[in-house]
Chains A and B, each alone.
Chain A
Amino acid sequence: MTPFVVMDCVLLTRMSGLPEAASLRELRERVAVCGDNVLYHHFYETLLRPSFDYPDYHNDFAVWAKLHLADLVLAERFGVLDPYAFASMEELRGTMLDIIDERLATLAVVPAVSRGSEFYFFEADTVVFDTGDRICSPADLAPSVARMSTGSVFFHFIEAHRREPVGVDDFSAWLLHFGEETSACREALRTIDFAFLTLSELRSEICERLAAQCL
């Protein structure tokens, strides 16, 4: 059986070049034209960025709407967006714009923020590398995950959902090669709702679930 190749990834944020948004209308204008990398960063990569893990919402738009724009309705609508449920960035962008348009249509005054609370548009450079670690048997998976960096957990468990086979984490895809004996494990991993976990919490959760299935 092919061993599991443990990868790692780290990122560095940079300015996107777009001006910051100080109101909901400006946010709409910028979201409509920003690059896919910008949307990708604010929806998918927030967990990898050095910042406080804010478990309420994992996308920056929802956090900004809640903390700075003080529009809780908008925060909830942004917050529920699952970026992994969209087939393309354009589809995600379209949904976001629809939410903003709908909100703007119901408000008498366009919400805005004071200086210092603007939304900054970022993108990131990500470096992906092979750690040299290999996992040879399902029994070694849990202890290996326990030693992984949070970047590895992100790469193999979260971001994997966007790669082929779409919607499946790398651990489950690898365990599938071992047949029926790993089906309970795969099911245990499939039901982890990572939207509410930090990467270190997710690492512990994966280990616990694998251990509970005697792997």
Chain B
Amino acid sequence: MEKSLLMYEACAGSAAIRQLRMLGEKLSGRRVVHVNSTREGGGVAEILSWMVPLMRDLGLDASWEVIRGAGDFYSVTKSIHNGLQGFPVNISQKGWATYHAVNQANAETLRPTLEDADIVVIHDPQPAALLQLCGGRRGKWVWRAHIDISHPYLPVWKTLRTIVKGYDASIFSMPQFALPLPHPQYLVAPSIDPLSEKNRDLPPEELDAVRAGFGLDPSRPLLVQISRFDRFKDPIGVIEAYRLVKKVQPVQLVLAGGGATDDPEGEEVLREVMDAASGDPDIHVLLLPPDAHRTINALQRVADVVIQKSLREGFGLTVTEGLWKGKPVIGGDTGGIRRQVVDYHTGFLVNTPEGAAHRIRFLLYHREKMRSMGEKAREFVRENFLLTRHLREYLILFHSILSGSSEPRIYV
């Protein structure tokens, strides 16, 4: 079923929906084309699968195009992706030639659509070269970088920069992710879909079933960290914190994450976590399949405290998800977690296992405070990090770049 704004009114509030309708009305009929490299799988496809239908619902003539390439193209773009994130990768001239050739081939079919659009949003580096191949474009072109490119491997950035500097604007998720470019750089934080399997309300019997399925004792407090098995997520530090709490409270711990079969370091970290947890029946290390969204949702809901004790983090959407379920979050003092976790309001920022243990004990002891912080956390996400806010910011951007005004204030 195609998503509509009406479905979100109960979660986001009628004022937010009305605001979107009014912003959309004034863009009615504008042709907006999003371009990325995959229809399914990955965060970008997930965003576009709700954003495009909701833009249509608002009256925009929105569409979603996907570029097609062969295996060697994706090898090159994977290297570009890694290089932008700072890994030293060698992309040969032939590699860049493949990148340009695939963009060229896609431009042949997409050119009429793209050149005719009022706004083209190109997601990530894969289709970025389309700009140079659409010389007859009449609209505004925006490059949306979904990854952190703040410390790139310079040879890769040097080449890509020559491509993306020609855009009319770019969008980054956080200021820390951006690099200087000769056009306006907008900041649009990620968001969650409150109606997705990962975030929708679940019936109590389903929560009971998940609890029973994993052998969790409903009478004792539960700590949950959802993340892949990665050193930057500090799962060993979470176990240390749990052990410190367990000296005074009979807690249980769930560490749940996706499979790590294609990531040798992930397998190693998982082994270390299993070793650290062995012999303690109250530590549940769960390796979940990639589509276990409802299970993750249920685990976050049955938790007393959600933990995201990362040592390094991007925006940290698992934090947003935990807050949306009305749980205070104990989060590592890093990246986007700092933006979401505010001491004594939505959770606590911590730097060590000892700090995490201290804050967990505080919350488990002050149950009423924990409950009120959880309520505040959910309202905080409702106001700031649902997809309705995400959509609103795209509409503002469209108004802004279509106005052609250099003034910071636009009356529409």
Contact = CB atoms under 8 A, between A and B. Distances in A.
A84 interface: no
Contacts of B26: 129
A179 interface: no
A10 B409 contact: no
A124 B346 CA distance: 26
B296 interface: no
B383 A50 contact: yes
Contact of B408 (A54, A120, A125, A200): A125
A123 interface: yes
Interface in B11-57: 15-16, 18-19, 22-23, 26
A12 B340 CA distance: 18
A43 to B, nearest CB: 14
A8 B19 contact: yes
Interface string A3-31: 00000101111110100100000000000
Contacts of B184: 14-15
A123 B22 CA distance: 24
Interface in A128-168: 128-129, 131-132, 147-151
A52 B392 contact: no
B385 A147 contact: no
A148 B19 CA distance: 10
Contact of A149 (B18, B186, B393, B400): B18
A13 B186 contact: yes
Contact of A52 (B172, B380, B408): B380
Interface in B43-92: none
B258 to A, nearest CB: 26
Nearest to B385: A50
B362 to A, nearest CB: 19
Contacts of B176: 116, 120
A172 interface: no
B175 A52 contact: no
Contacts of B339: 51-52
B410 A128 contact: yes
A47 B339 CA distance: 14
B396 A127 contact: yes
Most B C-beta atoms less than 10 A away, residue of A125, A132, A147: A125
B19 A149 contact: yes
A37 interface: yes
Contacts of A125: 186, 396-397, 400, 408-410
Nearest to B343: A67
Sorting the interface of chain B by its residue count into under 10, 10 to 19, 20 to 34 or 35 or more gives 35 or more
A126 B408 contact: yes
A174 interface: no
A129 B412 contact: yes
A127 B345 contact: no
> For chain A, which range describes its interface: under 10, 10 to 19, 20 to 34, or 35 or more residues?
20 to 34
Contact of B180 (A10, A17, A123, A149): A17
Nearest to A126: B409
Contacts of B389: 50
A108 B340 CA distance: 34
A151 B19 contact: yes
Contacts of B172: 15
A15 B411 contact: no
Contacts of A127: 23, 396, 399-400, 410, 412
Contacts of A149: 15-16, 18-19
Given A10-B392, A116-B335, A127-B399, A15 B187 contact: yes
A160 to B, nearest CB: 14
A154 to B, nearest CB: 12
Contacts of A54: 342
A113 B187 CA distance: 23
Contacts of A200: 383
B396 A10 contact: yes
Contacts of A37: 408
A12 B185 contact: no
B311 to A, nearest CB: 11
A116 B334 contact: yes
A12 B410 contact: no
Contacts of A11: 396
B350 interface: no
A49 to B, nearest CB: 9
Interface in A45-82: 50-52, 54
Given A13-B186, A126-B408, 19 more contacts: A8-B19, A10-B23, A12-B400, A14-B186, A15-B172, A15-B185, A20-B175, A37-B408, A50-B189, A52-B340, A52-B346, A52-B384, A116-B334, A122-B175, A125-B400, A126-B409, A127-B400, A128-B410, A129-B22
Interface of B: 15-16, 18-19, 22-23, 26, 172, 175-176, 178, 180, 184-189, 334-335, 339-340, 342, 345-346, 380, 383-385, 389, 392-393, 396-397, 399-400, 408-412
Interface of A: 8, 10-15, 17, 20, 37, 40, 50-52, 54, 116, 120, 122-129, 131-132, 147-151, 200
Which 3 pairs of residues, A with B, have the shortest CB-CB distance?
A: A50-B384, A12-B396, A125-B400
30 contacts: A8-B19, A10-B396, A12-B186, A12-B187, A15-B172, A17-B180, A50-B385, A51-B339, A52-B340, A52-B342, A52-B380, A116-B334, A120-B175, A122-B187, A123-B408, A125-B408, A125-B410, A126-B409, A127-B23, A127-B396, A128-B410, A129-B22, A129-B23, A129-B411, A129-B412, A148-B15, A149-B16, A149-B19, A151-B19, A200-B383
